[in-house]
Amino acid sequence: MISAMVSEAWRAMSANRMRAFLTMLGMMIGVAAVIMMLAVGRGTQYAVEQSIAAMGSNLFIVLAGSQTTTGVRIGTGNAPTLVAADADAIAELPEVAGVAPISPGSAQVVYGSNNWGTIATGTTASYIDVGNWKVEEGEMFSDADVRSASRVVVLGQTVVKNLFGDESPVGKTVRISQSPFTVIGTLASKGQSLDGRDQDDTVFIPLVTAQRKVFGNNFRGAVRFIMVKATSAQAMPAAEEAMTSLLRQRHRLTDRRPDDFTIRNLTAAANTAAATTKAMSLMLGAIASVSLLVGGIGIMNIMLVSVTERTREIGIRIAIGARERDIRLQFLLEAIFLSLIGSVVGVAMGVGAAAIANAVANLTVVVTVGSILLAFFVAAAVGIFFGYYPANKAAQLKPIDALRYQ
């Protein structure tokens, strides 16, 4: 019975190939659009998640200077308010898992006849862990290197590429601000940050070395900012509070004076970015699914035409013994056929378009099995939903009226 109806549905469709194709085209475009849009959204989300993972989790950044910018304020730049000792004190807090004081500055790195302008990051050994970096080759410098202000350097991948090409840099000597530094390690690539900065375009040098020998800072022990990693996401509010009171105490600020530092929650900002891309992804999907709806209406439209055209046929079928459900099933099958074939081709089109976008436009486009299944089942449901009304209309026809229809 079902097989007879399937072949009947097939016959009805092949009788009007152009019409069936155009109806299916609506479904194809709808499904392809949903898959493509979800893939673009997912891709963006994926890129953001990657950046966040690369950045590390539960991070604060403590910056020297005040957030308030009204009036002239001594201290900003000229009188740095954060020192390495502040970092050591923060590290003692129970809510804090790690700290890395950072003193960056631009530096020209020279190797042989090559030179490359980059950011020299003066820091401590713990920055590897706090900043979620990985050492690719060699090793990170130690706390002893920091204390003794050794001339050692760990290179980011962009610097490696520009100075050494394919050569292995570990053990080689480079010059930074005229001083020779021994390369003891290289960093694994991290890619772009959320704001599009190339995070691999840097070199790490011991904090004390940077302060005394590279940047020639007048203020001993001053650092530009301190990165702080909290023990967990739950501990972050407590950690922020503890750091604030600790630093106010250490800086001897009376109640009437504002903070001379700023604590920023990097993870919260990142989560906002992730939530934004997620919302964007959902919105893209929602817009695309409107085209599925339009495709469904197309199916309903053509099925209504088909029922009207075949009124007499329906009458014959009813006369010779078709029950209501037989007629309904027959037309429903036809609508499902249209939407299913449309969605299968649409899935292929969507996946193909995503592959092309990946290859040609260099977009991060991620097609998930979930999005394919979603588009497919929504399309099938649309077919059933919009096919039901015409099918039911056919099933409700009165046999004598249908037989008399010319």
Partner 1 sequence: MPDQSLIQVEHLYKEYYTDAGSVPVLKDVNLEIRKGEFVAIMGPSGSGKSTFMNILGCLDLPTAGRYVLDGRDVGTLQKDALAGLRNEVIGFVFQGFNLLPRANLVDNVALPLVYAGVDKEERRRRSEELLAKVGLATHGHHAPNQISGGQQQRVAIARALINKPRLILADEPTGNLDTSTSEEIMKLLSDLNQHDGITIVLVTHEPDIAAHAGRMVQFVDGKVTHDGAITHGGIEGVQA
Can you give the binding site for partner 1, defined by CB under 8 A?
A: 1, 3-5, 8, 11-12, 15, 312-313, 315-326, 398-400, 403
Closest to partner 1 by CB, 147 or 398: 398
CB of 4 to partner 1, least distance (A): 5
Indicate the residue among 7 and 114 with the shorter CB distance to partner 1: 7
Q: Is 194 helix (H, G, I), strand (E, B) or coil?
A: coil
Give min distance, CB of 5 to partner 1, in A: 8
Nearer to partner 1, 9 or 82 (CB): 9
Q: Minimum distance between the CB of residue 391 and partner 1, rounded to whole angstroms?
A: 16
Query: Which two tokens mark 82?
Result: 């954060």
Determine the angle formed by the axes of helices 2-15 and 17-55, rounding to 10 degrees.
100
Encode burial over 56-71: b for 16+ CB neighbours within 10 A, e otherwise: bbbbbebbbbbeeeee
Question: Minimum CB separation from partner 1 for residue 405, in Å?
Answer: 11
Dump the DSSP string for 45-103.
HHHHHHHHHHH-SSEEEEEES-S--SS--TTTTTS---BHHHHHHHHTSTTEEEEEEEE
Based on CB atoms, which residue is closest to partner 1, 134 or 312? 312
- Got the DSSP string for 144-191? HHHHTT--EEEE-HHHHHHHHTTS--TT-EEEETTEEEEEEEEEPP--
CA distance 258 to 252: 11
Q: How far apart are CA 74 and CA 70, in angstroms?
A: 12
Which uninterrupted H or E stretch holds 206?
strand 202-206
| CA gap 143, 366 in Å, rounded | 42
Task: State which amino acid sits at residue 316.
Answer: I
**CB 21, min distance to partner 1, A:** 18
**For the CA atoms of 203, 208, 209, 211, what is the dihedral angle to 10 degrees?**
90
Residue 335 CB, nearest approach to partner 1 (Å): 18
Cβ(2)–Cβ(314) below 8 Å: no
Question: Minimum Å distance from CB 334 to partner 1?
Answer: 13
Tokens of 61: 């950044």
Between residues 11 and 197, which has the closer beta carbon with respect to partner 1?
11
Q: How far is the CB of 24 from partner 1 (least distance, A)?
A: 19
Contact by Cβ (8 Å): 303, 334: yes
DSSP, res 216: -
- Residue 45 token pair: 């989300």
Reference 75, options 249, 212, 219, 208; nearest CA is 219
Name the residue nearer to partner 1 (CB basis): 81 or 330: 330
Please identify, using beta-carbon distances, which residue of 120 and 329 lies nearer to partner 1.
329
Kindly tell me which of 74 and 320 has the beta carbon lying closer to partner 1: 320
The nearest distance, CB 403 to partner 1, in angstroms, is 7
| Strands 225-230 and 59-64, bridge-based pairing | antiparallel
Nearer to partner 1, 35 or 322 (CB): 322
Residue that the structure tokens 């929504």 belong to: 378
Q: Minimum distance from CB of 321 to partner 1 (Å)?
A: 2
Q: CB 331 → partner 1: shortest distance, Å?
A: 15
